[in-house]
Amino acid sequence: MRPAVVEYVAARTLEEVLGALADGETAVLAGGQSLILELTAPKEAPRRVVDINEVDGLDTLTEREDHVQVGPLVRHREFESDTVGGALGDLMRTVVRHIGHPPIRARGTMLGSLAWANPAAEWPALAAAVGAELTLTGPDGCRTVPATEFFTGPFSTVRRPEELLVEARLPVFPDGTGTGYAEDRRVTIYPQAAAMAVVTVTGGLVSRAAIGLANAGPCPVRARAAENVLLGAELSDACISAAAEAAATVDAVRDRRAFQTLTRRALTRARDAL
């Protein structure tokens, strides 16, 4: 299918970006990986595209004492190195290597993936699992939304058409934290199912747990029932199996056996990483 004909705007400032978005019919071009899909569906294609690649300050990746800030022009490949340290960096390095293939990781962006909101994508599941906060800016100023509230359905978020997603803020994990990831991928660039786990152990017992599931339902899923199984317990094989079974009972989960298996693998890998 031939791409739709759209107006192209090359923005140089954030004000120019917001000015272009004000009509509610303009799409954002950062990496362009998901935008291509929009442009090849003329019935749903935007009227205009605003290119944000020349806007200063949007490619910032900053590690603070308690969080990591990611701007809208930070490419997937930035997370393949040790740019982000600690257990959060370990998880991000593992996850990003499963995203698409090298050309996609070279151009695509984390915030673009979050805004696209494919329920099978890895970054939305990670953001929801770790409790990321997402900041949007528009004509009414800035607002920050928890990742668990940002996604409203397949390819649907709370972002208004006139807003730009300008920052993702991910919390840094404390010492004693291990992370793990497991997925089932067949012929597509997205996993059929995926699970990621973050576990902090203090004094031999789990003091913090986060489990995220990708392609488990219309939105990224945080398996809180599974997390509750882990909290206050020793991270034994039996505990991991019980948590994996609880993850498979989440209402949104389609293939319970697959998510049970993948959650168990992710948790086992997280324990091995401690």
The secondary structure of 133-154, three-state, reads: EEEEEECCEEEEEEHHHHEEEC
CA distances, 68 to each of 40, 94, 180, 186, 260 (Å): 35, 17, 19, 32, 30
Last residue of a domain, one of 142, 171, 200: 171
Amino acid identity for residue 169 in this structure: R
CB 179 within 8 A of CB 270: yes
Indicate if 189 and 264 belong to the same structural domain. Answer: yes
Angle between the 237-247 and 256-272 helix axes, to the nearest 10 degrees?
140
Percent of the chain with pLDDT strictly greater than 70: 95
Indicate if 77 and 142 belong to the same structural domain. Answer: yes
Q: Is the pLDDT of residue 2 over 60?
A: no
Residue 66 lies in a domain: yes
Residue 1 lies in a domain: no
Indicate if 65 and 148 belong to the same structural domain. Answer: yes
Question: Could you give phi then psi for residue 258, rounded to 5 degrees?
Answer: -65, -45
Question: Could you give phi then psi for residue 139, rounded to 5 degrees?
Answer: -65, -20
Residue 158 lies in a domain: yes
- For the ranges 88-97, 148-157, 208-217, 250-259, the lowest mean pLDDT is seen at 250-259
Indicate if 185 and 261 belong to the same structural domain. Answer: yes
Domain count, the chain: 3
Indicate if 204 and 149 belong to the same structural domain. Answer: no
At 57-116, the pLDDT tens digits run 999 999 999 999 999 999 999 999 998 999 999 999 999 999 988 988 999 999 999 999
Residue 176 lies in a domain: no
Using DSSP bridges, classify how beta strands 164-171 and 177-184 pair: parallel, antiparallel or unpaired: unpaired
CA distances, 138 to each of 15, 83, 161, 218, 221 (Å): 9, 30, 9, 26, 28
At 36-65, the pLDDT tens digits run 767 666 556 788 999 999 999 999 999 999
Domain ranges, residue 14: 7-51
Residue 71 lies in a domain: yes
pLDDT for 105: 92
This prediction has a pTM of 0.93
Token output for 187: 């012929």
Indicate if 66 and 142 belong to the same structural domain. Answer: yes
pLDDT for 42: 53
Indicate if 148 and 46 belong to the same structural domain. Answer: no
Q: Which CATH number do you get for residue 189?
A: 3.30.390.50
Residue 24 lies in a domain: yes
Indicate if 236 and 264 belong to the same structural domain. Answer: yes
Instruction: Say whether 130 sits in a helix, a strand or coil.
Output: helix
Last residue of a domain, one of 110, 139, 171: 171
